Amino acid sequence: MRDIEINSILDEARDLDASDVHFTAGLPPMMRIRGKISKMGGYPDCTEPVIINVINAITTAVQKQIIQKGEDADFSYVSVSGMRHRVNVYRQRGYHAVALRLLRNDIPTLTDLKLPPLLADFSLQPRGLVLVTGPTGSGKSTTLAAMVDHINRNKNSHIITIEDPIEYIHTHKQSMVNQREVHADVVSFAGALRAALREDPDVILVGEMRDFETINSAVTAAETGHLVMSTLHTTGAAETLDRIIDVYPPHSQGQCRSQLANNLVGVVSQTLVPTANGKGRVACLELMTNTEAIAALIRDGKTFQIPNMISTGRARGMFTLDQNLANLTRQGIINKADALERCQDKREFERYLTGQI
């Protein structure tokens, strides 16, 4: 059996094209490859002392204090080989556990990620709210990083990012980029957002809109002439808008609908699907841009009609997830079985696939 040494395990996981590595009691180190969890061969099962050794090897004194209090800890870790990782340390059944997301040191372009040109258009808007949504592990952070990099390469702007933790390091190109990490540079997302408005930004990236205060601050920042980009753990544009509106008290929801109708640029909802050749994963999207017709639906509280509006909005670059899944299946990029697992309406998907609509 091989020793459990964090840096060699992370290097091995990268060589195997893993996206995540996990340490949990009673199992050997685990990794996720193309969406599937598997054991790393040749290692013994992790025990609590082994996991504590892993934690001690990757944490600072301040992070150790947080963990010793029994709290979850989110932070970044740079391995001996210089590669970046997003880390979460948590407890389960009285034991510690560690989840590490393996990050790229380079920032992929929108072209590298095979993302549609509309995302480049979103990123170069002078003001408004751009939302990238999807489940955990769907590539939201990578898409946002590519959009920020597109601004950085093509526009003279001041970009402020607020992240927990910082995942991709942006160097100054055409733009000036200042990156603030929650718990290291600032106390909270909402606090950093309020401060950002006094720091002369053109673009503000908020890593995640987790609560009412952050959502309200982001919507207000978009309204006051900044381009605000953020993420939500939602699936689909309509659900995303409903989630935002629902966090407001009932007497403020009408105002929120009006703010979104006036300031929303677009919503990108994505999920990752294994490629048919088994060599990677591809982002499948639902893409909505805020047309006058969609703005009217938001303002009137008729978000349930938005999916139909997206499905008929191809001329404006829009498409539903089912349309995109069907298109990628027809091209042979993904398998039909994988597409069916992720589609929202199987009958609609089949109709798109066979060209009936």
pLDDT at 178: 98
pLDDT at 357: 59
The structure tokens listed for 291 are: 């047309």
pLDDT in tens, the chain (357 residues): 889 999 999 999 999 999 999 999 999 999 999 889 999 999 999 999 999 999 999 999 999 999 999 999 999 999 999 999 999 999 999 999 999 999 988 999 999 999 999 999 999 999 999 999 999 889 999 999 999 999 999 999 999 999 988 999 999 999 999 999 998 899 999 999 999 999 999 999 999 998 999 999 999 999 999 999 999 999 999 999 999 999 999 999 999 999 999 999 999 999 999 999 988 899 999 999 999 999 999 999 999 999 999 999 999 999 999 999 999 999 999 999 999 999 999 999 999 999 865
CA distances from residue 265 to 125, 139, 224, 316 in whole angstroms, order as listed: 8, 20, 14, 13
- Residue the block writes with tokens 């050997």: 28
Instruction: Please tell me the distance from the alpha carbon of residue 287 to that of residue 327, in angstroms, as a whole number.
Output: 14
pLDDT at 183: 84
Instruction: Please tell me the distance from the alpha carbon of residue 24 to that of residue 261, in angstroms, as a whole number.
Output: 45
Threshold 0.85, pTM exceeds: yes
- Residue the block writes with tokens 């709290």: 71
pLDDT at 277: 92
Instruction: Please tell me the distance from the alpha carbon of residue 213 to that of residue 217, in angstroms, as a whole number.
Output: 6
The structure tokens listed for 88 are: 């979460």
pLDDT at 356: 65
pLDDT at 349: 94
CA angle 59, 60, 61 (to 5 degrees): 125
